[in-house]
Amino acid sequence: MKALHLLLILGSVISIVSTDNESMVVAGGLIITTSVVLVSVVIYFTTQPEPLRTFNPAGLKSDLGQALFGQHIVSDVVLKAVSSFMADSNPNKPLVLSFHGTAGTGKNHVSKIIARNLYTKGENSKHVHTFIYDNQDPNAYSVWLKQFIHTSVENFPRSTFIFDEMDKMQPQVIDVIKPFLDYNAHVNGVSFHKAIFIFLSNTGGKVIADLALDFWREGRKREEIKMHSRDLEIMISESISKNEKSGFWHSSLIEHHLIDHFIPFLPLELRHVRQCVLAEMYYLNKTLDAHLADKVARDMPFFPKIHRVFAEKGCKSVRQKLALYVDE
């Protein structure tokens, strides 16, 4: 019988290392041993839960305003959604957010901002769990994922789960998450109402970029784009549910309306990339140089090719690009 051995911690999950005979998730503290046929679970807890921060909506608003560039829709929806959820002492379901947009527009960044406003150790908290699915055996991964989520919430109801590159995840793996997201869901005696699930995906990015380009061609400001503009949220939902290459395709999450908000991340303009470069200078303790920031930003690829309106990679690789200029 082929066995699957998993070693992990209540904290960030990095990856599963596979061999011909077994797979291993390395992260420590919690040991789950499973078999493809029989499942046995042995759990060891070595540390006490970390305390939550006292949630302050004004703090989240400030962080979004100062550290997020060009994403007015994201700032507005995330602030309202998270603030309302944290103010509710007895929510009727977990908070489920789905972030969509092209690369480098801030999806991971916003996830970290949320974590920093909820936990004393921010995104490094052991109650913030990040998953990146990398073509592991979907059956074995589903068994492990279901147990991991259940155990995490059982021991800390305010846990946060971040699923990166959701578009690469198999539908059957996504469907394992469904019972935890439903209204009034209790799974094996555990309530998931206070947990947060965040999905990150490039799927829907083209729909969002096309709408942003339409507004630009019409001479309208990007700030005029709203969640309801030309049924943007509906278009995102439809684009990912009909995309056969997306993990959401044939997944029951959309069919059962379990995602609270499909949040669009707009493609970034030159001015936003310039802000990212300045932020990197500050982070690296470099002298803030607006001229250099402009030079680095302009060296990034933009689309459409002729007009160079939006950055193809957003702020991704800004730090690496900046490194080429700092000694000049």
64-92 tens-digit pLDDT: 999 999 999 999 999 999 999 999 999 99
Q: Is residue 18 part of a domain?
A: yes
pTM of the model: 0.84
Q: What pLDDT sits at residue 256?
A: 77
For residues 136 and 22, what is the distance between their CA atoms, to the nearest angstrom?
11
Q: What pLDDT sits at residue 26?
A: 37
Is residue 251 very low, low, confident or very high in pLDDT (cuts 50, 70, 90)? low
Q: Is residue 166 part of a domain?
A: yes
Among 94-108, 181-195, 305-319, whose mean pLDDT is lowest? 181-195
Beta-strand ranges (E) seen in the chain are: 3-8, 16-18, 23-25, 30-35, 39-41, 95-101, 128-132, 160-164, 186-187, 190-191, 196-201, 261-265, 302-303, 310-311
Q: Is residue 102 part of a domain?
A: yes
Domain shared by 158 and 76, yes or no: yes
Tally Cβ neighbours within 10 Å of residue 113: 23
Average pLDDT over residues 53-60: 96
For residues 248 and 314, what is the distance between their CA atoms, to the nearest angstrom?
24
Q: Is residue 46 part of a domain?
A: no
For residues 17 and 25, what is the distance between their CA atoms, to the nearest angstrom?
6
Task: Tell me the CA distances in angstroms from 322 to 69, 243, 254, 308, one per residue in order.
Answer: 18, 36, 40, 20
Question: Tell me, what amino acid is at 93?
Answer: K
Chain center to CA of 278: 24
Domain shared by 134 and 283, yes or no: no
Domain shared by 66 and 8, yes or no: no
Annotated binding residues, written as ranges, equal 101-108
Q: Which residue has the higher pLDDT, 69 or 246?
A: 69
Q: What pLDDT sits at residue 169?
A: 84
Q: Give the residue from 230, 250, 265 where a domain finishes.
A: 265
Domain shared by 36 and 100, yes or no: no
Total domains present in the chain: 3
Domain shared by 17 and 73, yes or no: no
Domain shared by 91 and 25, yes or no: no
Domain shared by 173 and 260, yes or no: yes
The CATH number for 198's domain is: 3.40.50.300
Query: Cα angle at 8 between 3 and 11, to 5 degrees?
Result: 155
Domain shared by 23 and 72, yes or no: no
Whether 118 shows a pLDDT value over 90: the answer reads yes
Q: Is residue 50 part of a domain?
A: no
Q: Is residue 52 part of a domain?
A: no
Domain shared by 159 and 22, yes or no: no
Q: What pLDDT sits at residue 91?
A: 93
Residue 235, classed as helix, strand or coil, is: helix
Domain shared by 213 and 66, yes or no: yes
Is residue 175 very low, low, confident or very high in pLDDT (cuts 50, 70, 90)? confident
Q: Is residue 151 part of a domain?
A: yes
Domain shared by 274 and 312, yes or no: yes
Whether 243 shows a pLDDT value over 70: the answer reads no
Domain residue limits at 188:
57-265
Whether 96 shows a pLDDT value over 90: the answer reads yes
Among 37-41, 164-168, 276-280, whose mean pLDDT is lowest? 37-41
Residue 30, classed as helix, strand or coil, is: strand
Is residue 14 very low, low, confident or very high in pLDDT (cuts 50, 70, 90)? very low
Q: Which residue has the higher pLDDT, 119 or 237?
A: 119
Domain shared by 12 and 33, yes or no: yes
Annotated binding residues for ATP, written as ranges, equal 101-108
